[in-house]
Amino acid sequence: MKQIRIFRRYDESHPPSFVEIEKWLLDVNDILEFDLFRSEGKFSEKILFWSKNTIIDTEIKTEIDQMRALYIRQSDLPLYNLFVDKIVQAVARNEHIPIIKKAAVIYRQASVILDEMFENPEELENVPKSKKVVNTFVDTIFSDSYAIESMIKITAYDYYTHTHSINVCIYSLSLGSFLELNAITLEELGMSALLHDLGKSRVDSKITNKKGHLTDSEFEEMKHHPLYGHTIALKIGIRDNRILDGIRHHHEKLDGSGYPDGLMGKNITLFARIIGVCDVFDAISTKRSYKDSMSSYDTLMLMKKTMQHHLDMEIVDAFIRMQQHDDILSAV
């Protein structure tokens, strides 16, 4: 028989933190390295439900399925992230899991990896890690015809630090798939998009975290990030020119007024043009603490009206068609 014990009340000044987990990820025969808690009563007291290192049998799995929510200690989050990391690719390929659930867990896992990556940008492990993130996204996109719509919906969440890189990766992959790029090209585009702002890790965090407009000198420093990113990508062993180029040139503009190399028109490669459009789209449409968000439609119309000398309008138009296509899909 399983043992359930009441979890003690905590000192109000030092309340323990608990986080809700994706309980549907737990399966029969799993042995977890973290305790599971349920919530009870008016004060949502957390009660130990299942101890770590104890196998989950069918009876417990049924109970878990019937529960409203399941929690772990905040301090166990790294262990939970490791658990999710092991199963995330299988989750992406599983056709029986609803796409919106899939998208949420994949997005969260990518956020964890991106946070680690920005913490230690020159780690060689970053290449296989980002490949895994991109492959998981690509698998998800190919596993379900609603995937793109769901992945884009999920970019509306703003829980984590490096959501921008993930959002740009999701938009770029969605666009690339809409433009019928082949799987290998898509994976390379995804890598380039995911890593496009890695160079910001070398810019003073006072500048990268500043809310609102940058001063001229701050902007000059910020403008170095594509070159820094290119250098870091080389350092961690990325040799594919298309990936490197997307990182270095995502701020180039069609009229030559961009940076760092002042490239013009079609001298800016397809990857850089796609990432450039997705970068601007996410910056305008995502709600940040210092500004309100704008709808996807209004964002794309604003880009079309005011940025024709900067952005590739064929790509902006493809983005508009893709959104309309998704609207049709969601209405079915």
Q: How far, in Å, CA of 54 to CA of 50, rounded?
A: 8
| Beta carbon nearer to Fe ion, 187 or 197 | 197
Backbone angles phi, psi at 208, to 5 degrees: -65, -30
| Beta carbon nearer to Fe ion, 80 or 171 | 171
CB of 214 to Fe ion, least distance (A): 13
CB of 267 to Fe ion, least distance (A): 19
CB of 32 to Fe ion, least distance (A): 39
- Binding footprint of Fe ion on the chain (CB under 5 A): 197
CB of 247 to Fe ion, least distance (A): 9
CB of 176 to Fe ion, least distance (A): 18
* Helix, strand, coil tally for the chain in percent (to 5): 60, 5, 35
| Beta carbon nearer to Fe ion, 197 or 245 | 197
| Beta carbon nearer to Fe ion, 149 or 197 | 197
Q: CA angle, 252 as apex, 247 and 255 as ends, to 5°?
A: 160
Q: Which residue is nearest to Fe ion (CB)?
A: 197
Query: 171: which residues sit within 8 A by CB, 6+ positions away?
Result: 152, 155, 193, 278, 281, 282, 319
**Tokens representing 97?**
């899991």
**How far, CA to CA in Å, does 38 sit from each of 20, 54, 69, 273, 282?**
9, 16, 7, 48, 37
| Beta carbon nearer to Fe ion, 102 or 250 | 250
How many residues can be counted in the chain?
332
